[in-house]
Structure 1
Amino acid sequence: MVTDSWIARLLAGVVGLSPVALAGASVQSLPDTVVFRDLPAGQVQQQRVLRYWTADRRASARQVSTLGRRGRAAPKAVSTGALWPAAPLGTVGRVFFSMNGQDYLCSAATVRSTNRDLVVTSGHCAKNGSGDWAENWVFVPAYRDGGGPHGGFAARRMFVPDQWSTGADDGYDVAMVALAPSGGKHVADVVGANEIAFGRPRGQQVHTFGYPSYERYDGRRLAYCSGRPSDDPYGETRAQGLRCDLTQGSSGGPWMTSFDPATGTGTVVSVSSFKYADEERVMYGPYFGDAVRKLYTRAEKG
């Protein structure tokens, strides 16, 4: 049951799903507090996943929100949310995935990695806390109006912090997903990659991007906010909050410092994660500290 003491995640339709492991999943817990899942390998399987996402399935994927605890304050920012006025960013894209028989939406972004296959998103866009892992997971870079110029990249391995996998701790609501090459090419070689940083000073100016799909947003266009985030005023998480009205579907979208509109890239320091019940215009993202650094170090070679 959801109570006023709970935090609402943007893709909170994932919350409360039956904690049943996916059949055939290879799941391992590592000493460095990283948990990962291997997805079925092989080109045939990857093509099956890509074919799963027909235009009708993409259009009907869900964005459902539950409510969280009562909020009391809101940080200031430059923009509260708007459609990105230029072409879609090649390194940011829409995510489609299934969980417990339902299809869902999120956002994600590429980050520089040894394997050239890595994207970062929210933990709840890959795993339902201690419950199910996602399946049929596809990243569509530069998504716009139903598709993207580079097609989709299927996931081959997912990584989340143990703090998320065992306790659904919103302060660690982060996932790294290694993608399978498409047409023999790694995603970073096709669209480029953002930098990623850990332990940065809090409250730095950020641009956050995503594909919100509720209320005044329809999910067909990239949207953004900008400003300086503030610490969680309730002290319940180590997350930071940014005044931003992006809605469900923007979960997992990157928060970038040093964003350069000319290149469409920046340095990812967080991802969109959750909102409080009566602060619908304030988005929270987890702080990228040592746990997320360990997550990245493991995932970039996976």
Structure 2
Amino acid sequence: MTPSLPLLAVTALVAGLLGAPSPEVPPLGDVVEHVAGHASGIYWTPQRMARAVPVGLLGGTPPVLPPVVGAALPPAARSALAPGHAAQPAARTGTTQTTRTTRTTGTGRTRQAAAMPPVTTSGTRWAAGGSVTRTTGRVFLTLNGVDFSCSASAVRSANRDLVVTAGHCVKDGAGAWAENWTFVPGYDEGRQPYGGFPARRMFVAGPWSRSGNDDYDVGMVAVDDLDGQHLTDAVGGQPIGFAPPRGRRTYGFGFPADPPYDGERLLYCAGVPHGDPQGQTRDQGLRCDLTAGASGGPWLSGFDPASGRGTLTSVSSFKYSNDHRTMYGPYFGNAVRDLYRTAERA
């Protein structure tokens, strides 16, 4: 495991015990699957959602925790799971810590420029509408008895039910799988225009499941339909891409819930990502001030602000504690491709 914090924090035998696909259709590559317990329809009340703790982005010295919370979690992950801890992250131990308009007149050009969102920003509310406001949403989950929130995106898939988020928003590394996992697309200031879609099957890459390796901090969840309607039939889905060129302009979206944010609105960062200067991961870093709760939010390249569409090429994963201005996201290579190909047929 790389010594960075995830934002939450094995083999084929364990995958089988947890409900892997039948032997006739084995998983592609090193993929671990879990059959999700269904979230109660009344579990995620507005009050519970408001109290959910945003998953932290930084590691540090683990605080004193009740045994049930700390059980089976590595020290870095324990520090992130403490309720309220993410709002005041400690230094990570053992690292150096890290609408389109027709142009007619000069006045028209000024108005158009003012209406378009910035193409470079470290944190701005997304007010341009488009597909991204429907496909991006909040995730609510319970891990080791604590209710948390993350961010995620609906993606195009064969089953029309697939959500992509961070691995730590699905499984705590080598520890527990999330329970009560529900995706709320289009969330906005408490409004849930499409309702909540509960998980039915969860997937992570083997290296994440065995050791919380940050290079593989990606989770995919096949959700139940809602009132007979598949997720992407209701909200659409962003396409997903693999082995993308590095250093392409990227827009990262999410629902940060630590101050100065409250998790109620969709925000974004945009810029050109770079490699990990710490050399600890193969991830790319994006200048981004979004805080805890943005974990798992989609990174879209080739993004069109007018339509709100792009290609999903990473998700928000972690920050180094000596660099709160940079968000890191895993590179979508062959392992993530195999994860997707397995999850989309669930």
Q: What band does the TM-score fall into relative to the shorter chain?
A: 0.7 to 0.9
Q: Which runs of 5+ in 1 are unaligned?
A: 16-24
The verdict on how the C-alpha distance between 1:39 and 1:8 changes in structure 2, with shifts beyond 3 A counting, is closer
Higher alpha-carbon deviation: 140-149 or 160-169: 140-149
Bigger helix share: 2
**Contact map agreement 1:27 1:35 (CA 8 A) in 2:** no
Aligned residues: 276
2:50 maps to which of 29, 41, 59: 59
Write out aligned runs for 1:246-285 (5 A): 246-285=290-329
Is 1:93 aligned to 2:84, yes or no?
Answer: no
Is 1:103 aligned to 2:129, yes or no?
Answer: no
Counterpart-to-counterpart distance in 2, 1:89 and 1:259: 13
1:154 maps to which of 178, 198, 202: 198
Write out aligned runs for 1:89-168 (5 A): 89-168=133-212
SS of 1:195's partner is coil
Query: Which amino acid letter does the alignment assign opposite residue 45 of structure 2?
Result: T
Write out aligned runs for 1:132-211 (5 A): 132-211=176-255
Counterpart-to-counterpart distance in 2, 1:145 and 1:252: 19
Q: Which runs of 5+ in 2 are unaligned?
A: 10-16, 22-26, 55-84, 99-118
Provide the residue aligned with 1:26 in structure 2.
18
**Contact map agreement 1:159 1:177 (CA 8 A) in 2:** yes
Q: Deviations over 1:232-256 (max 9, x none)?
A: 0111110000110000000000000
Query: Which amino acid letter does the alignment assign opposite residue 61 of structure 1?
Result: A
The verdict on how the C-alpha distance between 1:78 and 1:31 changes in structure 2, with shifts beyond 3 A counting, is closer
Query: Which amino acid letter does the alignment assign opposite residue 52 of structure 1?
Result: Y
Provide the residue aligned with 1:35 in structure 2.
32
Counterpart-to-counterpart distance in 1, 2:164 and 2:144: 22
**Contact map agreement 2:149 2:293 (CA 8 A) in 1:** yes
Counterpart-to-counterpart distance in 1, 2:126 and 2:276: 27
Bigger strand share: 1
SS of 2:133's partner is coil
SS of 2:314's partner is strand
Structure whose alpha-carbon radius of gyration is higher:
2
How far does residue 7 in structure 1 lie from its aligned partner after superposition?
Answer: 1.3
1:216 maps to which of 260, 268, 280: 260
Counterpart-to-counterpart distance in 2, 1:135 and 1:97: 6
Query: Which amino acid letter does the alignment assign opposite residue 80 of structure 1?
Result: S
2:126 maps to which of 84, 93, 113: 84
**Contact map agreement 2:28 2:342 (CA 8 A) in 1:** no
Higher alpha-carbon deviation: 221-230 or 80-89: 80-89
How far does residue 28 in structure 1 lie from its aligned partner after superposition?
Answer: 4.3
How far does residue 31 in structure 1 lie from its aligned partner after superposition?
Answer: 6.5
2:281 maps to which of 213, 222, 237: 237
Counterpart-to-counterpart distance in 1, 2:159 and 2:305: 26
Q: Deviations over 1:13-55 (max 9, x none)?
A: x34xxxxxxxxx8354956210010124xxxx55x2x310011
Is 1:70 aligned to 2:96, yes or no?
Answer: yes
SS of 1:189's partner is helix
Counterpart-to-counterpart distance in 2, 1:149 and 1:260: 23
